[in-house]
Amino acid sequence: MSVPRPGLLASALLAVSLHPVTFAGQEGILPVGQQLRFRIYWGIIPVAETRVSVERVDYEGCEAAAIRVKTRSNAVVEKIYPVDDLIESIVDPRSLLPWRFTKKLSEGRYRCHEVTEFDRGRGRARWRSLLSGRTKEYPIEHDTRDLVSFMFSLRAARFVPGRRYHYQVMADEKIYDLWVKVLRREEVRLLDGTRIECLRLEPEAAFQGLFVRKGKMWIWVTAKPPLVVARVVARVPVASVKMILERLPPDTE
């Protein structure tokens, strides 16, 4: 994989910018219905917009939170390479463990519609493609998370510059190792002109859809919890892809 897919790049990295939803028994920082908006650039050209939101939903009779990451190409790029992606994680609002993960992508001629359901009681996950009809079942740990719910769970992390952190996440129907190296503090300018102090992170992983295999990726998150992604840069042999936050949510300013 030489170039990161725009929707997957956005979905896997934006979720760290979310905060807990307002539910009974849990302190809420991001009110239900609030959105975060990011702009994606291919080089210096704006190509798409991503919106991250959290909504209260009912899942099989239980109160749940739906974390949604939507990415759409802009009017200019739409004529050449249309992108319309939705990635959703339905989670238990108290443990933040996922019950269902859905990935629905439309990028140029590429199509993907997959659902993974987590059976904690049996210690199994069931993946299925709604396009091909293929299914797969595999073992999971008690705390296994998909990409979106994993990043969401890091909202209260306290990263220390110079340290390297190890995690495991579910992607591509498997469990993978993921490392996050904390580099240093840097100032980042948002699209609205605001300048904020951030920590520069360098993630490393070996699965498709989160980090490029041939290149580098860096993420800038606000220095103090709750973490908000301010900027993402992915450099590959043929291009540089950037994702920049429009503005900080009111509760973190």
pLDDT of residue 189: 97
Give tens-digit pLDDT for 161-205: 999 998 888 887 788 888 889 999 999 999 999 999 999 999 887
Residue 159 DSSP class: -
Q: What CA–CA distances, in Å, run from 205 to 53, 166, 177?
A: 25, 10, 6
Q: Which residues of the chain have pLDDT under 70?
A: 1-32, 206-215, 251-253
pLDDT of residue 59: 94
Domain regions of the chain by residue span: 6-252
Rounded Cα distance, 167 and 185, in Å:
22
pLDDT of residue 96: 85
| CATH of region 6-252 | 2.40.360
Nearest to 53 by CA among 152, 198, 193: 152
pLDDT of residue 17: 39
0.75 exceeded by pTM: yes
First to last CA, the chain: 37
Half-sphere exposure of 95 (CA within 13 A, CB side): 11
Q: What CA–CA distances, in Å, run from 49 to 44, 67, 137, 178, 235?
A: 14, 17, 34, 26, 19
8 A C-beta contact, residue 87 and residue 52: no
Rounded Cα distance, 144 and 149, in Å:
10
